[in-house]
Amino acid sequence: MRFSKLHGAGNDFVFLTSETEPADGWQQTARALCHRQTGIGADGLVRSTVLDMDPPVLDVTVYNADGSLATMCGNALRCAAWRAYREHGLTRMTLVLAGVKHEALVRVDDVQVTAEVGQVDMRRVMTVWDGHPVWFHSAYTGTEHVVAMVPDVDGIDAVALGRLVRGHPDLAPLGANVNFVQHTAKQVLRIRTYERGVEAETLSCGSGAVAAVVIATMRGVVAPREVTVHNRSGVPLTVRPHTNRPGRAFWVAGPVTEVYEGTLA
């Protein structure tokens, strides 16, 4: 079985070319291949199938590193769009993930996909950390996210606090991805994300970047136009409102890199 490993701004994924389900099933295969020590190592496993070429439509399935299915993953969608560009020459396409349609646009060094925005709840969760209250606002961007605006993201223990909030009773039963966001300059944010399903801090999160911009915009920290979101990978993403659906959909954009290809034994 052939595979390729790609990353979108540091958020890395294994893509399999075979549509034949492995003997152990897709979920167990995802856990095995994504394991950082005994597998290829990735934040998720992705399968992408062309449904139609006129107009281009691809079905995308994303398994998190723990084997669970993802309902949204902006960087996985960006990587899938890049592969469709390389393999089929597609520059515009529709990607269907968990039944939701996403627009995609591929340029030479920039891949953009749309994220749908649902319910937003300000001051959804409060916890105390290092003797201080920390408020988290929730924003659904295809998957559950909570966002805390903090003065210094480097001063946060993103893993410990992220793990604590990810399973907070007020977020039951699904929990949420946990984002810590700092406003650093006009239309510029910094972010750290603890991802549910990976159960660790990741270098980048596309849907988390959108959630951060949604909350920062509602709080008046940034204006409702393009925002640069810096993450731990050092490769920033940009987020901007969808022209035809402002407030309901956003474009998230950035580079995609193929790391290597190989064959599974």
Active site amino acids: 73, 205
Is the bond into 56 cis (omega within 30 degrees of 0)?
Answer: no
Q: 92, 85, 62: which is closest to 207 by C-alpha? A: 62
Buried b (16+ CB within 10 A) or exposed e, 106-120: beeeebbbbbbbeeb
- Say if residues 209 and 231 touch (Cβ distance below 8 Å): yes
Q: Which residue has the tokens 């949604």?
A: 214
Residues 68, 62: Cα–Cα separation, whole Å: 9
Residues 219, 224: Cα–Cα separation, whole Å: 11
Name the amino acid, one letter, at 16. L
Residues 117, 140: Cα–Cα separation, whole Å: 6
